[in-house]
Amino acid sequence: MPHAPAQTRIGHVHLKVSDLDRSIRFYRDVIGFEVMQRYGPGAAFMSAGGYHHHLGLNTWESLGATPPPAGHTGLYHTAFLYPDRASLGAALARIRDAGIPLDGAADHGVSEAIYLRDPDDNGVELYRDRDEAEWPRDAKGDLAMYNRPLDLDALLAEAAD
């Protein structure tokens, strides 16, 4: 069976949203992406660090729409990888300042993650990976991830300015 090359990455996520300006404000002001381009009145492309886009938003088929009902198939969440703990802490501070509730926060051993919802009720994970040398392993050396509470106060204390 053929395998994708190890260098393969998810290049971007493109979301259907109901209100483009509201979604831009969330992904810009809370998550921290910048608008790279507006594409007519119904789409925008956003990124971190000047890349052409990590995130596409559009209302082409969803202007004014409601979120899909619970219990249906669809996107579980997008996951945005932050480069370090301080950057993740700064993102958490922006979320708290915006008054956005968290769905959860977890230490998975290999990563630390916070979970929330965007304005269209799409799941969003913001996380940072630990160095591979720190990953938990069992006696045989196999990966032994877990799901423990994340100390949010300690994460906020490391927030980058």
Arithmetic mean of pLDDT over the chain: 94
Percentage with pLDDT > 90 across the chain: 86
What is the distance between the alpha carbons of residues 124 and 143, in angstroms, rounded to a whole number?
25
Name the CATH topology of 11-63: 2,3-Dihydroxybiphenyl 1,2-Dioxygenase; domain 1 (3.10.180)
- The answer on pLDDT for 161 being more than 60 is no
Domain ranges of the chain: 11-63, 76-161
Sign of CA dihedral 134, 161, 118, 7: negative
pTM score, whole prediction: 0.91
Q: What is the pLDDT of residue 34?
A: 97
Q: What is the pLDDT of residue 74?
A: 87
Tell me the CATH number for domain 76-161. 3.10.180.10
Helices marked H in 30-107: 85-97
Considering only residues 6 and 58, tell me which one the structure prediction assigns the higher pLDDT: 58
User: What phi, psi does 94 have (nearest 5°)?
Assistant: -65, -40
pLDDT digits (tens, 9 = 90+) for 76-132: 999 999 999 999 999 999 999 999 999 999 999 999 999 999 999 999 999 999 999
pLDDT digits (tens, 9 = 90+) for 108-124: 999 999 999 999 999 99
In b/e form, how buried is each residue of 61-93, taking b as 16+ CB within 10 angstroms?
ebeeeeeeeeeeeeeebbebebeebbbbbbbbe
What is the distance between the alpha carbons of residues 77 and 128, in angstroms, rounded to a whole number?
16
What is the distance between the alpha carbons of residues 33 and 30, in angstroms, rounded to a whole number?
8
What is the distance between the alpha carbons of residues 66 and 137, in angstroms, rounded to a whole number?
43
- The answer on pLDDT for 145 being more than 70 is yes
* Within this chain, domains 11-63 and 76-161 share the same CATH topology: yes
